[in-house]
Amino acid sequence: MKKIVLLLAILIGHSVSAQIKVKVNDKLVTEGTSFKAEDISKMELAFDKPKKLSYYGLGRLYFWVEILKESGNSYEDYRIAVDGANAIEAFLMDVNDFKTFYADGKVSFNFKIRSSSKQLSLPELFLLAGRWADQKTLKIRVSLFFRDKVGYEKYGDAVELVKPLTINVDNAYFYAQGQKEKEAEKVAADTKKAEDVKKAEEQKKAAEEEEKKGKGKKVLKKVLGW
């Protein structure tokens, strides 16, 4: 009986230790922890006891930070991508080595953003999500996974090396700010449109008056025989 209990303790201990680790503002957080978007000033990421695969070959390893919308769909992501068996094995040896993802108002350039030519900071991304995607809440999911190369620039399904960790983000502050900016931009655009219409009408009226004056001069010259 003692052996069974000991074995279960070892298995449970290994399961718990095989995980993504996230520090927010220098404090370790757990799955499902919630934060206000404007309160996140620093974010560091690490992993422990990743699953070992028998072959890495020409595949690619990803250390992935994904921003999820309220629906659960992806909004944006940042990633470290590692190619080559030796490089992957070396990267996976750096367990509990916290990598700075976000600090001093900037996202580390080690984590490449997916869909922007600019390395957006978290506040910039939160603002865009609130303004253009109307997101009042978001999630940040951190994961470590491997994908086999299955063809030219094609990779297979993701194999998770540790269980992902997700935190919740209350984006109400940036949502309100984004909506306010969007409304101000709309008002400015409508005002400019109205001014352009008015200006076009005035130019048309002035042109018509000039045309009438021109016709009047021609008639006068004809009458006077000039």
Predicted pLDDT of residue 162: 97
pLDDT mean over 185-198:
87
As a whole number of angstroms, the distance between CA 128 and CA 203 comes to 39
Contact indicator for 85, 54 with CB cutoff of 8 Å: no
Strand-pair partners of 168: 34, 139
Q: Which helix (H) or strand (E) segment is 23 a member of?
A: strand 19-24
- Which phi and psi (to 5°) does residue 41 adopt? -110, -15
Handedness of CA 106, 44, 148, 91 (dihedral sign): positive
Predicted pLDDT of residue 63: 99
Q: Which of 13-17, 27-31, 136-140 has the lowest mean pLDDT?
A: 13-17
| pLDDT higher than 90, residue 101 | yes
| pLDDT higher than 60, residue 36 | yes
Burial code (b: 16+ CB inside 10 Å, e: under 16) for 152-163 equals: eeeeeeeeebbe
Strand 106-107 vs strand 99-103: parallel, antiparallel, or unpaired? antiparallel
Domain boundaries, the chain: 2-170, 182-226
Predicted pLDDT of residue 176: 98
Round the average pLDDT of the chain to a whole number and report it.
90
Sole residue written with tokens 């000033």: 41
Strands (E), 33-117: 34-36, 43-48, 60-68, 74-83, 99-103, 106-107, 112-113
Question: Which ranges of 116-225 does DSSP label H, i.e. alpha helix?
Answer: 122-132, 172-224
pTM, to two decimals: 0.80
pLDDT mean over 33-52:
98
Cα 92–Cα 83–Cα 55 angle in degrees, nearest 5 = 65
Strand 74-83 vs strand 112-113: parallel, antiparallel, or unpaired? antiparallel
What are the tens digits of pLDDT across the range 44-76?
999 999 999 999 989 999 999 999 999 999 999
Strands (E), 69-147: 74-83, 99-103, 106-107, 112-113, 137-147
| pLDDT higher than 90, residue 202 | no
